[in-house]
Amino acid sequence: MGSGIWSTDVYDAADRYRRSTGRSAFSYSDSGARTVHAALDPRDAMRESRDSDEHPQSTPVAVLFDVTGSMRTVPRVLQTKLPQLLGLLQRQGYASDPQIMFGAIGDATCDRVPLQVGQFESDNRMDDDLGRIVLEGGGGGQMSESYELAMYFMARHTATDNWEKRGRRGYLFIIGDELAYQRVKSQEVTRLIGDDLAEDVPLRQIVDEVTRRWDTYYLLPAGSHYAGSAKVLDFWRDLLGQNTVVLDDLDAVCETIALTIGLGEQAIDLDEGLRHLDHAGSSATGTVSKALARLGRGRRAEVSTLPAFTDTAGGVKRL
């Protein structure tokens, strides 16, 4: 996947058509769908970001968001701000040939649609994938969702030329407000993804796997149920360190993603990125400045800055 060119004109035309016909941008979910769309089904799937003559230096970006409880509004915000995200990545040159994949996370212990994963796309098909997401709004109410299952998929069911040809990691953004479960459960993997695991995978092991190939960020936005929870913040900072990013305005999520990538690619420093937001008339400058201050000014977070783990007889242990 990943062919084609993003067109804001096509996006605007589709938006005008939906408005004129009274259709929702999330018509699949809003029509009452309660099963994963075939295009987003993770079972027996491999998602690939590949180079082509059209996109010779592909940069893979995965954005996976919790759609339980109060978090179910996140994809609607993303959908309305897609032009801003793509504009910053492409027109400002933050990343070469970005290919974006959208997906959604629920709770595999109780939700009907706990994992949805789109394709890496360079054109307006990424908007189509967003529109296919089921906004279930469930969750188990126990302050945990199946983020570890999504990380398992990203670690073992993605392939990118950016890594295989250039030894460069892609970008993974998880947007949520709760804890992950402590283990990737083998039964859930078999049921939802199709892999036959001999045993569960400890959370710290799967974090170690995914961060080898993906610069992984956890975005914790304001307005979500556990946004102010020190327990949630400490949990993710223990796993991802400075790559845990707190947002005091949900509407700033696209700008935060774009500038994080620009910093990671060393295309900008933070001050330059904030100037770009100002020039674009964005209201997110203050939120983004505060959120990304921990990432420094232009330095890409390396694997060595994240917690290190090693296999032991008793599982996976933090060094």
268-301 burial code (b ≥16 CB/10 A, e <16): bebeebbebbeeeebebbebbbebbeebeebebb
H-helix or E-strand containing 54? none
Rounded average pLDDT over 74-94? 83
Other beta carbons within 10 angstroms of residue 64's beta carbon come to 24
Place of tokens 């100037």: 275
- CA 106 to CA 83: how far, in whole Å? 26
Rounded average pLDDT over 262-285? 94
Q: In the predicted model, is pLDDT for residue 141 greater than 80?
A: no
Domain spans in the chain, listed from the N-terminal domain onward? 8-300
What pLDDT was estimated at residue 37?
Answer: 96
Rounded average pLDDT over 212-240? 87
CATH architecture group of domain 8-300: 3-Layer(aba) Sandwich (3.40)
Question: Do 246 and 93 meet the contact criterion of CB atoms below 8 Å apart?
Answer: no
pLDDT band at 301 (very low <50, low <70, confident <90, very high): very low
pLDDT band at 203 (very low <50, low <70, confident <90, very high): very high
Rounded average pLDDT over 7-24? 84
